[in-house]
Amino acid sequence: MADSASGQIDHVLTEDRLFPPPAEFTQKAVFSTEEQYLETYARARDDRDEFWKAEAQEHLHWFEPFNEVCKWDAPNVEWFVGGKTNASYNCLDRHVEAGRGDRTAIIFEGEPGDTRTLTYSELLTEVCKCAEGLQSLGITQGDVVSVYMPMTPELAILMLACARIGAIHSVIFAGFSAESIADRNNDASAKLMVTADGLYRRGKVLPLKETVDQALAKSTTIEKCLVLKRVGQDNVSMTEGRDVWWHDVVDTQDGKLPAVPLDSETSLFILYTSGSTGKPKGILHTTAGYNLWAKRTFEWVFDHREDDVYWCTADCGWITGHSYVVYGPLSAGATCLMYEGAPNHPAEDRFWDLVEKYKVTIMYTAPTAVRAFIKWGDEHVDKHDLSSLRLLGSVGEGINPEAWMWYHEKIGNSKCPIVDTWWQTETGGIMMSPLPGITATKPGSCCKPLPGVIPEILDETGRPVDPSSGGMLCIGQPWPGMLRGIYGDQERYVQQYWSTVPGKYLTGDNARQDSDGYYWIMGRIDDVINVSGHRLSTIEVESALVSHEAVCEAAVVGRPHDLKGQAISAFVTIRDREPDEELRQELRMHVRKQIGALAQPDDVRFAATLPKTRSGKIMRRLLRDIAAGKEVAGDTSTLEDFTVLAKLKEED
Ligand code: PRX
């Protein structure tokens, strides 16, 4: 097992508390009996095409019907072949045409407290204007639009505007560095960059356009840059002939552009995520299958009802924001709260203030946030009336039972089911989760697979193992929301996900199943670490470190961390410099500049040499133990130089 938070595993192995849903929740729930789930699950498994045919016909709008449900030739899949649909139409026009245009789609609150509400009709008009603006900048179907924006309605508008005309959005979280933006722009051959003058974060303004300008100096394919005025920065530098203002290009349009009927498999978006190698990969999702998966998983897991006010706290820079801020809830006609800023600005009760103010009924957040709330103290929660809440969700990493219990008791007043949702950027939407009306939850378990998900627990040779002892989590059958590839790199797609066990999707996670059939995610099998719910490759951080002139070699591992889940520990060997505090800080800042603040190592240790096997591989397992402050365990007989270990320990 790789870098999993082993402390958590000890807990979950002994966790046997059971929390059945309250009876009044079950009465009105989408799934209200176990039989209903079992029957739906069996139909999706045994008669896949019939099941998804009916789902797609009912839940998406078709300009032209599809003639084949699923064309599966592992690892390539096409869903709803021959059909034409449009994700922006499914999210907007469909509701407006059904007479539901006056329903609130987005309630926005900016960090400084500014608010804005958009009905489905208003959102449709804004999306049309934006799509017209994109067209006026020469964007057409298949062009890649790179996005580096604050979490404001315009971000969702831009995503849907791309979807409306068949352009492919590539959203980059607005915390990544100029280097990272440029890498992503070049990898995707992006034509347009969309950004803002700045964003608000903890009361300060972050000058996004300045970062983008640095990125564009190294981006070879960007022709234009569209800039939203969010913070009203003075002196924003605008390059003549390249940079244009959103209010000039978008706000001046008439807002009537019909959605373009697009083939089901038209690329919808690329989202970069870290894998086990140095270079982030552009995960590709396509229109119909992804849209259907986002909608149905949203409705099943969040048990969506007419009068809900739903809040997913994720940023659209991550997959959670794509599927559960934009495409899932809007396809379902939900009313969504969108918040721009930090959870502790102006004070640590900002989230609870928002829940009370907007009477939020469903809240979906990350374990790292829950752990921060616990640390900040109950008094921030106690100030507020949270009685509107009826359902809580968790995503991004396993939620440790202690945080689960606090979330359940303190935020949910012991009456709200918690849905611990396991999924990945690659899966497009939730794969395993409790169904809140029927599942008796166990703290720390993502419980059961959703209809259409066939998990398998296998060993390295692809053979089934005893599920209770755990193994590699693979998915044996295609599902509509699955990734279609790595943008521009089919070979890597096959190698990464489909070669370990030919014909089966390798999730990269370890899992086990208990005697009740519940699944427990046990951490990664590769060199991916999870820092505050964000995926990072240790090799990516190592590459950033060795690009510093003083670094000869670097090894990066995750170590358990109370708030972040995992912290980043770097071991480096250096040349021509003193191993002092100044260099340590310089290296941390260097990684920040190369990748972004989220990748900055928590600790940097200087070593004389790194422990290696005789074949020259760095022994990360040992470094993980050292970083975690544990006695070095396991077999060290293949260490090239035993003295290294002693030296590393002395560095502590
Ligand atoms: O290791 C699993 C962990 O996060 C990985 C996916 O990361 P990413 O693609 O960034 O997507 C995050 C949001 C879906 C998984 O391979 N992970 C995510 N959710 C859970 C989880 N681990 C345990 N329990 C979860 N609920």
- 240: tokens are 């003549």
Is residue 408 within 8 Å of 416, Cβ to Cβ?
yes
The answer to whether the beta carbons of residues 512 and 519 sit under 8 Å apart is yes
State which residues form the domain around 165: 59-102+116-285
pLDDT given at position 594: 95
Q: Which amino acid is at 536?
A: L
Last residue of a domain, one of 285, 302, 323: 285
Burial class of 28 by CB neighbour count within 10 A (0 to 12, 13 to 18, 19+): exposed
Do the domain assignments include residue 290? no
pLDDT of 642: 55
Could you tell me the distance, in angstroms and rounded to a whole number, from the CA of residue 396 to the centre of ligand 1? 4
H or E segment and range at residue 366: none
User: Would residue 334 count as lying in a domain?
Assistant: no
616 has binding-site annotation: no
End-to-end CA distance of the chain: 25
Quote the ipTM score: 0.99
Domain assignment present for residue 183? The answer is yes
CA distance 161 to 249: 13
276 CB near ligand 1 (under 6 Å): no
Within a domain: 184:
yes
Q: Over the stretch 311-353, which tens digit does the pLDDT of each residue have?
A: 999 999 999 999 999 999 999 999 999 999 999 999 999 999 9
Nearest CA to ligand 1 atom 22: 397
Residue 454 maps to a domain: no
Distance from residue 404's CA to the centre of ligand 1 (Å): 16
Which residue numbers in the chain have pLDDT < 70? Answer: 1-14, 631-652
Atom of ligand 1 nearest to the CA of 421: 26
C-alpha span between 383 and 406 (Å, rounded): 16
Q: How far apart are CA 499 and CA 504, in angstroms?
A: 8
Task: Output the pLDDT for position 143.
Answer: 98
User: CATH no. for residue 148?
Assistant: 3.40.50.12780
462 located within any domain: no
Q: How far apart are CA 153 and CA 109, in angstroms?
A: 10
6: in domain? no
For residue 632, the domain's CATH number is 3.30.300.30
Instruction: Return the axis-axis angle of helices 620-627 and 642-650, rounded to nearest 10°.
Output: 20
- Which among 254, 285, 316 is the end of a domain? 285
| AA letter at 274 | S
Measured from the Cα of 394, ligand 1's closest atom is 26
425 Cβ closer than 6 Å to some ligand 1 atom = yes
| Model pLDDT, residue 631 | 67
Where does a domain end: 265, 285, 305?
Answer: 285
Ligand 1 contact via 530 beta carbon (within 6 Å) = yes
Number of domains in the chain: 2
User: Residue 48, annotated ligand binder?
Assistant: no
